[in-house]
Structure 1
Amino acid sequence: MSDLDSSTPLRSAVLHRDTHFIPKKAIGGKGSYIFLEDGTKFLDSTGGAAVSCLGHGHEGVQQAIKDQLDQISYCHSAFFGTNVTEELAQLLVDSTGGKLSKLFVVSSGSEAVEAALKLARQYFLELPAPQPDRTRFIARLPSYHGTTLGALGVGGHVMRRQPFEPLLAKNTSHVSPCYAYRGKKDGESDAEYVARLAAELDAEFQRVGPETVCAFIAEPVVGAALGCVPAVPGYFPAMKAVCKKYGALFILDEIMSGMGRCGTLHAWEQEDVVPDIQTIGKGLGGGYAPVSGILINDFIVETLDKGTGMFRHGQTYQGHPISCAAALAVQKVIKEESLLENVRNMGAYLEQQLRQHLGDHPYVGDIRGKGLFWGIEFVKDKTTKEPFDTKTRLSSLIQEKALQPEYAISLYGNPGTMDGVRGDHVILAPPYIVSKEEIDIIVDVTVKVLDEVFKGL
């Protein structure tokens, strides 16, 4: 995993994620593979954090970035616009069938969530009859919406929040996720489960005061916090109905699960549950440049337009031309090469192979996901669903083992699956260009990694 062990003096001026280790250096990449300085050919089976949707070294995207550099690399959005930003916005608005009418472009998922929260608040201040008491948000446990203080505050991941709790705003409360593996009762139908969760959300509105809530925010398929957990059918229409009942906004965070990852460009298309605000990222630019954004429902835009006419939020690199050029090129490739079809086909094959080779594994509790976004949850006991002790560091052990040269794949591990502290899962999120042969390698090596890790336990 690293160039140095923990006893070797550090030789890097970079503050790495783990101060005890210097990671191996990536020196190149092509397709689904990253090439490391030690000669390892690494199969990027998670696209980093579900980012590299086109894989690496796509010449068309690289050329689009070079062309934009030759035109203009930066101008401040307070002074000027650019053709590439306008084209990207129109493409994305059109992709929603015009149901969302504006795009606001920033650089990271956390920034997108911050912008969405601030826009939700400002919307209620801009109404003809302003509603200044709307200062609260309702989110879910566990959930993860970003690492900046506002985004972390609406998130419900205990371990990520814990060191910073004293700094976080106290205006967010959390309800249960739609997590059928652990949340659905024996004998309970999907409809009954949805009704129970809708009643819980309704009760939370009542508890905090319906007139105080700006928005409910949720991921259509929960990423890092739960490991690719999709909602049961009917869940999001029911949640949106509760929001509408109390006049609150409905925000869908598709930073990880959207932009094609789950088989449709927008995850919400699969149930046609149109959000009021949608955050996008990761697969938007495929890692070729830092880019994310929010798509906004027209009634919010009209309210601002008839009010102050300004979104009271802005950033230096907002609408950055290079980022927009990368995102535009990535989205054109996805469309022109019919990659969403490959996501659906290869996603179905990945699911089939995972279930065939790991469905009966004694320590695999659940396999779930959509498209090319799959999670594997581990348990010590399949009957009781008891997780492994946190001291085991299971998800970290699996991720570290997979990085070793003899395996050379990525398994994106996260702890806290069960309750934000206990429980472990790994995520698989290969690029949209992945082949059947590569999926066979991914599943085969995953099985070998798990066998080796559990043998050690």
Structure 2
Amino acid sequence: MPRGREHRLPRLVHRRPRGASAASPARRGPAGGRVARRRPIHRAPALGRRAAAVHRLDLERDARPRDDADRPAPGRAAAAERARVRLPAAPAPRRRLPVARAHRAARAGGPPRGPVARRDRRRPRAPRRVLGRDRPLTRARPPPRRHVGGRPAPRLPLRPAPRDERGAPRPGRRPPRLARPAHGASVRRRLGRAGATSSHPRRRHVRRAPALRARRGEPARGRRTGMERPFTHALWYLALTGADLESDAVLDRAITHGSGCYLHDRSGKRYLDARSGLWNVSLGYGNERIIRAMTEQMARLPAGQIVRHDQPTEIALDYAERLVALLPEHLEHVRLLTTGSQGAEGAIFLSRFVRRAHGEPERTEVLAFRDGYHGTGGLATHLSGEPWMHEVEAPLVPGVHHVEQWNLDALRKAVERVGPERLTAFILEPILGTDIQPAPPGYFGFGRAGSFAETVRLGLRPDMLILSKGITSGYAPLSAIATTRAILDQALDAEVPFPHGSTADGHPVSVAAAMAVLDELEDGRILQNAVDRGEELKERANALRDDLPLIWDVRGRGMMIGVELRDADGEPIPDETMTALKLAARDAGVLLSISNTTVIFTPPLVISSEECEQLVSVLESCVRPIADQGRVLAARD
């Protein structure tokens, strides 16, 4: 017993058995004396572990029924009785006394009292429901945050707070929204990175969230650059070269955001995008109508498929009806795909599928123009008339024959050489993508040329029409094959469905973007702006030809303009010089495309007259040093 602390021994009381009267004789123990029972005292002072354990064992031994043979001898019983008196009492279970107190209060007619009654009053009740409603009137509590090591996991910002060029927080902006750790997510992945300090010395698996740092403007030289890991050139983008692997300069010219016709890189430099990404961002960056349509569709139905089963998405059905209403009347059906390359290949496969289904399996050969571009892939690479691609990706899919572009005599000879009975299709672009070569007068892109499709403007009746790139303004991948009712009937008469497609074909979010593009182009103002600004670009570029003889030709229609450069002798400009011109334009704030010796202008359809002036001005400043160098070399000769 601890010193300096008074301890009460349990009281011994005489208790009658249940059902016995006061006159009935008391039950005698083995020694002939009365059996003493303890009344437990609530909230007895804490004792040592050993004393409490002995006391519990003693109580359990007394609680078991005993026969006379099991009872100890009188001397031992007296010693045990004295031992029990010496041991302090253990605290009784909390439930006994409060429950009895609550029951006594209930029998007396008063409200229940005690800890149990208070606990019952705090117990949450089922939400009230009203007839005709399926949801409760009370709002359910949000699920608790994931706890790690007994403490709530810290919340991390979804994105860094907006900052200005110097790295200071921008005034008047709300703080970044906090994200809750996903249920079951890895603590190490969600909360920390290698090298971060532990939030608790005994919990080394929990890491503190990294502090937000201001973005630096100086070039990247081996620093962490705000990323989770040191930069290692993990991304293999198409233009990556061996020289790029020696430095991390690509970090500063990495594109971060865009608005209108302009893009911004990581260092803060702004560029006029005269190539519209890859000719596909036809409505510029940050179009609110497209973004809103995609966001709403993402919340309504973020995924869907039209390749298998008989339940296409509703938005795909609506879009097909709206699209065919804008195309020539004979194109009544649309097959939605993902990319332009897939659309080109799908059109050829569909042609061969229909021929085979109707007893013409030998008709598999295809004709295409040189300098035409139909994408890359198993068949699309061979359809594209670019010899350098054929050399590096050989062997190619057989059955494709290229013809000199816009040469009717060469086309007739090719038909005779291959044989009409073996041909299945002839694929071409109204404006050849390579070097921008439009069809000559009298010969015979989605809005790029100033109309929904150049074939519509020219009044042609193709059996199949392939739409891609600007169909969603580049905001999401989508392509389409529009075809006739006759081809559809022939395909449906086959023994099996047409086996071409992929999982993401006709993705509902992409289709929502395409619907918004139709809304933007519906009134015709953007298409007319493409025609007007295209004529302005050609006029401004032609005005430079008198002073800059390197400008050999200016051609194109709408927002597809090509400026061909040649030297004084009419020879093509070397590839190294064209690459230097492209980089000089980028340093001047304009992003250009080049193809062989042609500078290509494919800006967004929403470009303004001031931006056209800036574009031609940068072209002049980049071409003039090349022309002056050519004059110096000619004078030396």
Which TM class, normalised by the smaller chain length?
0.7 to 0.9
Distance 1:456 1:89, change over 3 A: farther
CA contact (8 A) 1:74 1:321 kept: yes
- The residue identity in structure 2 corresponding to 1:264 is S
Could you say which residue in structure 2 is the equivalent of 1:370?
Answer: 557
| Contact 1:401 1:453 (C-alpha < 8 Å) held by counterparts | no
Write the mapping of 1:127-206 to structure 2, written as runs, cut at 5 A.
127=358, 130-166=359-395, 168-178=396-406, 197-206=407-416
CA distance in 1, matches of 2:263, 2:629: 28
Q: Distance in 1 between matches of 2:317 and 2:625?
A: 51
Checking the alignment, whether the CA contact within 8 Å between 1:93 and 1:99 is kept in structure 2 is no
Alignment-derived partner of residue 579 in structure 2: 396
Which residue is 2:283 aligned to? Answer: 54
Question: Is 1:451 aligned to residue 630 of structure 2?
Answer: no
**Match in the other structure for 2:316:** 85
Partner of 1:120: 351
Q: Residues 252-298 of structure 1, C-alpha deviation per residue, up to 9 Å, x if partnerless? A: xxxxxx11111111111232112111111111111111112211122
Contact 2:545 2:552 in 1 (8 A): no
Amino acid at match of 2:235: V
Does residue 1:385 correspond to 2:570, yes or no?
Answer: yes
* 2:601 aligns with one of 423, 428, 439: 428
CA contact (8 A) 2:476 2:513 kept: yes
Please list, as runs of the form range in 1=range in 2, the aligned pairs for 1:256-405 lying within 5 A after superposition.
258-308=445-495, 310-336=497-523, 338-358=525-545, 361-381=548-568, 385-389=570-574, 392-404=575-587
In the TM superposition, residue 198 of structure 1 has moved relative to its aligned partner by 2.2
Report the equivalent of 1:254: none
Tell whether the 8 Å contact from 1:367 to 1:377 is kept in structure 2 after alignment.
yes
Distance in 2 (alpha carbons) for counterparts of 1:92 and 1:213: 30
Output one character per residue of 1:385-419: Cα deviation in whole Å (capped at 9) or x when no partner: 32134xx4333222222112xx111110122xxxx
TM superposition shift of 1:114 = 1.2
Q: Is the 2:272–2:590 contact (alpha carbons within 8 Å) kept by the matching residues of 1? A: yes
Tell me the distance in 1 between the aligned counterparts of 2:329 and 2:524: 23
Q: Distance in 2 between matches of 1:287 and 1:359?
A: 37
**Residue 228 (str. 1) matches residue 450 (str. 2):** no
Alpha-carbon distance in structure 2 between the residues aligned to 1:292 and 1:137: 21
1:234 positional shift: 2.5
1:337 positional shift = 6.0
Which AA in structure 2 matches 1:199? Answer: D
Q: Does the 8 A contact of 1:102 with 1:298 survive in 2?
A: yes
- Distance across 2 between alignment mates of 1:318 and 1:442: 36
Structure 1 unaligned regions, length at least 5: 179-196, 237-257, 416-423
Return the offset for 1:99: 2.3
CA distance in 1, matches of 2:566, 2:267: 35
97 and 171 in structure 1: CA distance in 2 versus 1, 3 angstrom threshold: closer
> Structure with the greater relative contact order (CA < 8 A, sep ≥ 6): 1 or 2?
1
Checking the alignment, whether the CA contact within 8 Å between 2:282 and 2:604 is kept in structure 1 is yes
TM-score, with structure 2 as normaliser: 0.59
Contact kept? 1:398, 1:413, Cα under 8 Å = no
Matched to 1:432, the amino acid is L
Residue matched to 2:591: 410
Counterpart-to-counterpart distance in 1, 2:619 and 2:470: 23
State the alpha-carbon separation in 2 of the partners of residues 145 and 97 from structure 1. 22
Q: Point out the more displaced range, 11-20 or 430-439.
A: 11-20
1:453 to partner: Cα distance: 4.6
Give the deviation of 1:82 after TM superposition: 1.2
Secondary structure at the counterpart of residue 332 of structure 2: strand
| Aligned match of 2:422 | 212
Alpha carbons of 1:91 and 1:385: their partners in 2 closer, same or farther (altered >3 Å)? farther
State the match for 1:67 in structure 2.
296
Partner of 2:175: none
Equivalent position amino acid for 2:536 in 1 = Y
Separation in structure 1 between the aligned mates of residue 371 and residue 536 of structure 2, nearest angstrom:
29
User: Is 1:372–1:432's contact at 8 Å kept on the other side of the alignment?
Assistant: yes
In structure 1, how many angstroms separate the alpha carbons of the residues matched to 2:446 and 2:441?
Answer: 20
Task: Check the 8 A contact 2:548/2:624 in 1, yes or no.
Answer: no
- Note closer, same or farther for the CA distance 1:273–1:302 as it changes in structure 2 (3 Å cut): same
Partner of 1:245: none
What displacement does 1:352 show? 1.2
CA contact (8 A) 2:328 2:461 kept: no
CA distance in 2, matches of 1:145, 1:288: 20
CA contact (8 A) 1:89 1:103 kept: yes
Q: CA RMSD in A?
A: 2.0
**Larger Rg, first or second structure (1 or 2):** 2
- Residue 594 of structure 2 aligns to a residue in which SS? strand
Deviation by residue 1:239-259 (Cα, 9 ceiling, x = unmatched):
xxxxxxxxxxxxxxxxxxx11
Amino acid at match of 1:65: M
Aligned partners of 1:359 and 1:367 also within 8 Å: no
**2:503 partner amino acid:** T
Query: Relative to 1, partners in 2 of residues 1:307 and 1:16: Cα closer, same or farther, differing over 3 Å?
Result: closer
Q: Is the 8 A contact 2:562 2:598 kept in 1?
A: yes
Secondary structure of the residue aligned to 2:267 is coil
Tell me by how many angstroms 1:4 deviates: 7.5
Residues 364 and 399, structure 2, Cα contact 8 Å, conserved in 1: yes
SS where residue 261 of structure 1 aligns?
Answer: coil
- C-alpha contact 1:411 1:427 (8 A) present in aligned 2: yes
Partner of 2:29: none
1:37 aligns with 2:266: yes
Q: Deviations over 1:16-38 (max 9, x none)?
A: 22134336221111111111111
Q: Please, which runs of 5 or more residues in structure 2 have no aligned partner? A: 1-218, 222-229, 245-249, 631-637
Distance 1:4 1:122, change over 3 A: farther
SS in 1 for 2:258: strand
Which amino acid is the alignment partner of residue 387 of structure 1?
P
- The answer to whether the 8 A contact 1:47-1:431 is kept is yes
Is the Cα–Cα contact under 8 Å of residues 354 and 443 in structure 1 kept in the other structure? yes
Structure with greater proportional helix content: 1
SS in 1 for 2:522: helix
1:152-185 CA-partner distances (Å, limit 9, x unpaired): 112210112211122x02211111102xxxxxxx
Q: In structure 2, what residue type is equivalent to 1:13? A: A
* Matched AA of 1:84: I
Distance 1:295 1:394, change over 3 A: farther
| Alpha-carbon separation, structure 1, partners of 2:373 and 2:312 | 32
Partner of 2:341: 110
TM-score normalized with structure 1 length: 0.82
Q: 1:455: how far off? A: 4.8
